[in-house]
Structures are given as C-alpha cells and as structure tokens.
C-alpha cells in the first residue's frame, strides 16, 4: 500500500508439547521445564518474548 510505513514486525512461533512429556517422571519434567526456560532466557534480551497458553487455568 503506498503511503503507509511499517516500523515494526511481529513473528509468532507456536510450540506444541509432545504428549510423551506428561508421561515422564516428575524430575525429568522439571529438568525439561528448566532447560526450556533457560533457552528462552538466553534470547529474551535480544527479543521481546511473550507467552500465551491455550490450556485453561
């Protein structure tokens, strides 16, 4: 569209948790959660990361 400037960009990435994760024992699940949180934390200074869950509370 002519005359319109776009100065921001949004990328949406969705992750689906494998059902096998729920069958792991509690320690393994906790380690997996921590590993994922650490990975997200490494990149949060570079990108604005927001979360959204489709699971009811």
Residue 1 has what pLDDT? Answer: 55
Angle at alpha carbon of residue 11, lines to 6 and 51, rounded to 5°: 125
Q: How many domains does the chain have?
A: 1
| Residue 57 within any structural domain of the chain | no
**Count of CA atoms in the C-beta half-sphere (13 A) of 30:** 3
CA 33 – CA 27 distance, rounded (Å): 10
- Residue 29: count other Cβ atoms within 10 Å of its Cβ: 13
Domain around 40: 16-45
How far is 44 from 23, CA to CA, in rounded Å?
29
Assign 52 a pLDDT band (cuts: 50, 70, 90).
Answer: confident
Query: Is there a contact between 21 and 32 (Cβ–Cβ < 8 Å)?
Result: yes
At 7-50, the pLDDT tens digits run 777 778 878 889 999 999 999 999 999 998 898 888 778 777 87
């Amino acid at each position: 569209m002519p005359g319109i400037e776009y100065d921001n960009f949004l990328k949406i990435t969705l992750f689906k948790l494998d059902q096998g994760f729920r069958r792991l024992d509690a320690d393994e699940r906790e380690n997996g959660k921590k590993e994922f949180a650490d990975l997200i934390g490494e990149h949060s200074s570079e990108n604005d990361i927001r979360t959204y869950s489709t699971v009811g509370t």
